[in-house]
Amino acid sequence: MDTLSLTDFDVFLFHEGNMQHAYRFMGCHVKAGISTDFCVWAPEARSISVVGSFNNWNGRGYELKRINQEGVWVIRVDEDLSGSTYKYEIVTSSGERRMKADPYGFSSEVRPRTASVVYDLEGFKWSDRDWMKVKEKHNRFDQPMFIYEVHLGTWKKKRDGGFLTYSELADELIPYVKEHGFTHIEILPVTEHPFDRSWGYQGTGYYAPTSRYGSPHEFMAFVNECHAHHIGVILDWVPGHFCKDAHGLYQFDGSFAYEYARDSDRENHTWGTVNFDLAKGEVRSFLLSNARFWMEKYHIDGFRVDAVANIIYWANQGESAANEGALEFLKRLNTSVFEFDPSFLMMAEDSTDWPQVTSPVHYGGLGFSYKWNMGWMNDVLTYMEATPEERRGLHSLITFSILYAFSENYILPFSHDEVVHGKRSLLDKMPGDHWQKFAQYRLLLAFMTGHPGKKLLFMGSELAPFAEWKDLEQLDWHLMSYDFHHKFNSYFREVLHLYRGATPLHQWDHRSDGFEWIDVNNADQQIFSFIRHSEGEHLIIICNFSKEAYHHYKVGVPLVKAYQEILNSDEERFGGSHQINPHSLPVTKGAYHGKEGSIEMTIPPYGAVYLKPII
């Protein structure tokens, strides 16, 4: 046995907090098929041995050597250990013996087993060069983005209740997503985690795609297949906190190596987790390198960064004290990500009003590409859950978002958090009888699609389930045999494909001149009308949140020859009452609603209408 060598500069960057590819030497690496290197950081350990299936879990003769005072330990085993399971046997400063999985391990056993697995990531042949080139050329901000948020374990299951594999998901999920018109798949955390019902948000293996669904190479193949069908892949990524399971990062060497030392900073009582010490150099290197790892090794296209509010502010202090070390980490993270790939998507799940979340770091911002618009989501759902009579007094909940819509680059999310734990499904949030619920759900989708900002919907939204997400069961696929659900699904696909093809719905999402109110004040009739603009084009969108139909309704419009209806959520084929505008709508010259002309049209009950000018 021999010890591997590391450059002094690598070690310096790792401890300083600027190492962006620590996975190239930390963890376990098979070398040329003849040896296996192990490297781990454990600053307070008294001794460390690597134990596993290759030595009958007996560490005698497999002791790691400490190479510096800061706690980097290494060993070279003169054997190809591919496929072996292993852990680090750590003796703490107090003499306690702990068995820990590899923080940088590339693969893990299938839960409930918890050992790391020696795995060589090399050898997969990528074929997504064309996707990468196209992505580099496009300005991501003016492209359509409608994201399908997925929990891989419950999208669909096998007949025996088992999980689909990454390979089976590639065969079934990708064509389904493409058929429905989504542009991206966002996967709830795929990093290894011990408890199914944490949905991956309480992780232990940050460098290991969960073995529930297959091997690392099979996950690479899934991403590669997504790219072959022009579907981007976004990972839900959790750099703020981690779980306390005994084999994970928690008190890794008996000390608080990865987490804050002070109890009030460390403990995240809401989730039963602990917070990463984001000011510590080695922790920063661990997370910066993890971001680079998924980009480099798995060709991931973006991260949805979880719980940014919990990162920005100190735990248990609310929005009263900013965590300066964490803010510096976020800026360093986004800077390093975009230096490696300027086309990458960094999305902050942030519920705070912290300024300049999506402004570049060199302009004083945090540097994200996008921010989830949680305010819009809460306001819209509050409005939709109200009765038509109550909505008259809640008019500003719909209009308020435009006042700040262009202050950040926003994503409009209806995520898993809104349809679980007693919150009800989106369909069931709608008031009224069966028909009214479906009509308003169609209206909600049309309003969301027409509103400035990129979009995200949780899986199953396209099926219009009455039941909220059941996080141990598959989606309610049987609903497609019912007429109303089948018709809604047809409508859903038509809306998303219209969104992708209509440049006014996405090209100027983040420019104030991309949106223009027609009538913002009609609280009594609960009708909102507005224009979406793009370069040389525009669409008129009218949304009626009341149960009344309005005939010969006059709307101010730009002066063109005529308009034609390209979407009406009330069409009979979608389950509506078919109060539509089948013929072209001529424009009458004369100021109305502050526009040069006007049209008269039918406004359906609980309906949305999209109009396109006839030039």
- Catalytic machinery residues: 306, 349
End-to-end CA distance of the chain: 78
Two structure tokens written together for 71: 């706690």
Cβ pair 109, 53 in contact under 8 A: no
Query: What's the CA gap between 41 and 52, in Å, rounded?
Result: 19
- Cβ contacts of 110 within 8 Å, gap of 6 or more: 211, 212
Query: What's the CA gap between 295 and 309, in Å, rounded?
Result: 24
Query: What's the CA gap between 261 and 128, in Å, rounded?
Result: 44
Query: What's the CA gap between 509 and 505, in Å, rounded?
Result: 7
- How far CA 353 is from CA of 241, 406, 581, in Å, comes to 21, 14, 42
3-state class (DSSP) for residue 165: coil
Cβ pair 258, 283 in contact under 8 A: yes
Amino acid at 92: T
Where does residue 160 rank: exposed (0-12), middle (13-18), buried (19+ CB within 10 A)?
A: exposed
Query: Does the CA dihedral 91-93-96-100 come out positive or negative?
Result: negative
Q: What torsion, rounded to 10 degrees, do the Cα atoms 150, 153, 156, 158 define?
A: 160
- Kind of pairing, strands 65-66 and 205-209? unpaired
Per DSSP, 512 falls in state G
Query: What's the CA gap between 295 and 186, in Å, rounded?
Result: 15
Query: What's the CA gap between 593 and 415, in Å, rounded?
Result: 36
- Cβ contacts of 181 within 8 Å, gap of 6 or more: 146, 493, 495, 496, 497, 499, 500
Query: What's the CA gap between 95 and 204, in Å, rounded?
Result: 24
Cα-only R_g, the chain: 27
Query: What's the CA gap between 36 and 45, in Å, rounded?
Result: 22
Q: Residue 559: which region, alpha, beta or left (left: phi > 0; alpha: psi -120 to 50)?
A: beta
- How far CA 531 is from CA of 273, 520, 542, 546, 555, in Å, comes to 46, 11, 9, 20, 11
Helix/strand/coil (H/E/C) assignment for every residue in 201-244: CCCCEEEEECHHHCCHHHHHHHHHHHHHCCCEEEEEECCCEECC
Report DSSP letters for 47-81, one per residue: EEEEEETTTTT--TT-BPEE-STT-EEEEEESS--
